[in-house]
Structure 1
């Protein structure tokens, strides 16, 4: 089997009502998905998504005519492109989808096949009042969720802590609670001061009393020593790594003892090929590996396959904050929208590859007509 062409298409849906992401200054009124198609001389196509593929133009010749199973070679080239031009890791996901389709195996089995299911935590994205968040948490319990994550981003974290208190009062011990402090990285317009170790410590001690499972990204993602110092001072787990782009970041986090929970996202950095090595490293040290999964439905599935394939962490992130963030929006290019089962688990099928089918009607309706096709056919 040889790669004959690589095709990139973009799709955009309107969001009405808008999604008020906690990390954005204005509501999001649209949501885009970039699909990467890797075509072969055997008529099998692998599909990946999760990032914009900025920087790929001009490098297609490095893959055309190659065996798609030479995944270590391809990952090295994508890493080189990442260094010079930008993130193109959805290509790695498309190659894994392709390998699964060729072998007739789901990707999670190719990666180790630890389990076909994992407990989901409802990962919320909006800043809402304590009362509204408590109501939504009660709805999660009714839907079968066993855990949820609350986003912080108020200027005064005491306002955020009030939200956690309200949720704990409303659901008791029916939900495990995680907290994302959103201090690890900044959007381009964000010039506010991030927390220091003392602020993170004060918040962590409050969250300990509320039985929170982990505090995510309480410090900038490069502050390996600060996170290690914080981790030694508090009983709550410290999580992070979702936007660290280099494998050696995770080596240094591991060496410093920065984190209890490692969260790299295969769609945004490293692909499945690189991130599985990080997962092995941190799990051998007794830490949790559970990736970030806020890209789109296909990026979400790729992270889910990796977690089911080899992760020993009991939780997986399920981006979900209805009515403004739902599977219908996240998975809009897919025929089947992914949802938990009655036990609060995400369950993978035995369909080959990443296990999804595209929705031709949605593709036709929402395509941005500027596709790029590189190859011989």
Structure 2
């Protein structure tokens, strides 16, 4: 089998009402998705998505004519492109989609096959009041969720802690609560100071009163030493690493004991090939591998396959915060019957079809395809 072509297409779905995300003060009126298609001489097409593939144009020549099964070599080339130009890890996802389809097996079985389902944690993202968040938490309990994540966004962190307090009061012990401090990275225009160790510790001590499951991204993503210090100073699990760029980041983080929970996103941080190595390394250190998965429906599928293949984590992230963040908005590029849902017991089930286990929604792709590169509004 040989790769005969690689094609990248952009899509954008209008959002009405807009999505005001907790990490971005600018309301999002469109949701962009990039798909990379990898064609072969056997008629098998691999599909990947979850990142913008910025910087890939012109590098197709390094893959054309090669066997898609040579993923170690392909992954190294993608890593070189990452260093020089930008993240193109959805290409690795598409290659494994080809491998799975050729072998007649779902990707998670080829990578380890540890389990075929995982409990979802409802990952919230909208800026709403403490009272609204508490009411929504009660709705999530009824839906079957066993855990949810609250993202901090207020200028005064005490207002964020009030949200956690309201949710805990509303749901009791019916769900675990995760908290995302949103301090590891910033949007391009954000120049405000991030938390220092003292502030992160103060927040952690407050959250201990509400039996929070983990505190995510409480410090800068490269502040390895202070993350390790914070982890030793609180009883909370400390989580992070969703967009650390390279394998060596995770090696050094794990060697220093910076996190209890490591969250490399498979479509942002190395594809299946590299992320499996990260998972093996951090779990060998006694930590938890639980990938971040806030991109689109294909990204969610990729991380579900990755987690089900090797992870010991109890929960996996499920982006969901209706009405502004729904399954339809998140997964519009995927056929409705192939979208990942959560059952009444709170589980996501990994598809049993070959490869990633989905087909694109061709009507949606035709409607939302765009010609110009789209970043956001």
TM-score range for the pair, normalised by the shorter chain length? over 0.9
In the alignment, which residue of structure 1 is the partner of 2:215?
215
With the length of structure 2 as denominator, give the TM-score of the two structures.
Answer: 0.97
- SS of 1:72's equivalent in the other structure is helix
- Aligned-partner Cα distance in 2 for 1:138–1:276: 35
- SS of 1:194's equivalent in the other structure is coil
- SS of 2:229's equivalent in the other structure is helix
- Aligned-partner Cα distance in 2 for 1:124–1:255: 31
- Aligned-partner Cα distance in 2 for 1:255–1:360: 46
Contact 1:22 1:153 in 2 (8 A): yes
In the alignment, which residue of structure 2 is the partner of 1:139?
139
Query: Is 2:370 the partner of 1:356?
Result: no
- Aligned-partner Cα distance in 1 for 2:172–2:198: 29
Alignment map for 1:86-235 (pairs within 5 Å) = 86-235=86-235
Query: Is 2:61 the partner of 1:61?
Result: yes
Deviation at 1:370, TM superposition (A): 6.1
- Aligned-partner Cα distance in 1 for 2:352–2:23: 36
- SS of 1:35's equivalent in the other structure is strand
- SS of 2:140's equivalent in the other structure is helix
In the alignment, which residue of structure 1 is the partner of 2:263?
263
Larger mean Cα displacement after TM superposition, 210-219 or 361-370: 361-370
Contact 2:301 2:350 in 1 (8 A): no
In the alignment, which residue of structure 1 is the partner of 2:324?
324
Q: Quickly say closer, same or farther: Cα 1:263–1:209, change in 2 above 3 A.
A: same
- SS of 1:149's equivalent in the other structure is strand
Pairwise CA RMSD: 0.9
Deviation at 1:127, TM superposition (A): 2.1
In the alignment, which residue of structure 1 is the partner of 2:18?
18
Give aligned pairs, total. Answer: 371
- Aligned-partner Cα distance in 2 for 1:350–1:312: 20
**Alignment deviations for residues 221-269 of structure 1 (CA, whole Å, 9 cap, x no partner):** 0000010000000000000001110111111101111000000011112
With the length of structure 1 as denominator, give the TM-score of the two structures.
Answer: 0.97
- Aligned-partner Cα distance in 2 for 1:259–1:170: 29
Alignment map for 1:259-298 (pairs within 5 Å) = 259-298=259-298
- SS of 2:204's equivalent in the other structure is helix
The unaligned stretches of length 5 or more in structure 1 are 372-377
Q: Quickly say closer, same or farther: Cα 1:197–1:140, change in 2 above 3 A.
A: same
Deviation at 1:169, TM superposition (A): 0.4
Query: Is 2:269 the partner of 1:241?
Result: no
